[in-house]
Amino acid sequence: MNYEVKKIDKFSFIEEGTGEPLVLLHGLFGGLSNFSFLVEHFKHTHRVIVPLLPLFDLDIFHTTVGGLQKHVQKFIEVRQLSNIHLLGNSLGGHVALVHVLKHPEKIKTLTLTGSSGLFENGMGDTYPKRGDKEYIRKKTQLTFFDPAVATDELVDEVFEITNNRLKVIKILALAKSAIRNNLGDELHQIQTPTCLIWGNNDIITPPFVGEEFKKLIQNSELHFIDQCGHAPMMEVPQAFNEILAQFLAKHN
């Protein structure tokens, strides 16, 4: 994805297209590239914005789901966004949920895919000795139904993170924060129209998690995609984009 990464103050982001803002929040091992198919499709109908979450830039006390939510809130204020279609994958979905619970007024719709916030299986509580790339490859492949989606480039990105002691500490801090920050008792407060797009073969946030979100979020709809894991927008982009486009069209 060869889009310009813009920088304003402490914020780095991609912004393409015009129309109502579609803000995309990536997950714990994610990045801007996770949304390449989504950006390419929706930049023709929406102002697609992908902020780079500061997973490794916050001090350790603010390396939490709440700390990331505050970053997103400040970003929305700086960019003066409103009528936002907010979408989050994995940890990004968790951040989106916390944001909607705290600041629902500027959010027009919410889309969650493989979101944490209720239950998730992580990549593991411990990491092997630095340099064990095959371990990281196998763990990265578990994100997808089709292991081939875990390209060498993607494995290299995850390997670089797990080979950096400080980054590992922050990844573990965020993973523990996500587990502690269970939103089961609060989700009934959400009134925002919500679309849940789930991989039927997601082993990190299994299908029952999507069903539980559907049960707890009143104004929500749930879509399962077969032969798909934890990141549907990467693994089955055409099916994902069709579901999302239909949902957004209903709330335009």
Tell me the C-alpha distance between 34 and 116, whole Å.
17
* Residue 128 in this model has a pLDDT that exceeds 60: no
pLDDT at res. 191: 97
User: How far is 89 from 66, CA to CA, in rounded Å?
Assistant: 16
CA-CA distance, 148 to 20, in Å (whole number)? 34
Task: List, as one string, the DSSP characters of 95-144.
Answer: HHHHHHHH-GGGEEEEEEES--SS----S-SS--STT-HHHHHHHHHTTS
CA dihedral for 227, 93, 52, 23, sign (positive or negative): positive
Rg of the Cα trace of the chain?
Answer: 17
Q: What is the pLDDT of residue 29?
A: 85
Domain ranges in the chain? 6-250
Percent of the chain with pLDDT over 90: 84
pLDDT of residue 122: 66
**Average pLDDT of the chain?**
93
Query: Is the pLDDT reported for residue 59 higher than 70?
Result: yes
pLDDT score at 124: 47
pLDDT tens-digit readout, 192-212 = 999 999 999 999 999 999 999
The rounded distance, in Å, linking the Cα atoms of 227 and 240 is: 12
CB 26 within 8 A of CB 92: yes
Beta bridge partners of 112: 88, 196
Please state, in angstroms and rounded to a whole number, the distance separating the CA atoms of residues 33 and 39. Answer: 10
| 120-124, 164-168, 191-195, 210-214, range with the lowest pLDDT | 120-124
Give yes or no for residue 123 having a pLDDT over 80. Answer: no
Q: Which two tokens stand for residue 234?
A: 């990467």
| pLDDT score, position 30 | 82
Q: What is the pLDDT of residues 61-116, one digit of tens each?
A: 999 999 999 999 999 999 999 999 999 999 999 999 999 999 999 999 999 999 99
CATH number of 6-250, picked from 3.50.30.40, 3.40.50.1820, 1.10.1040.10, 3.40.50.720 = 3.40.50.1820
**What's the mean pLDDT in 51-70?**
95
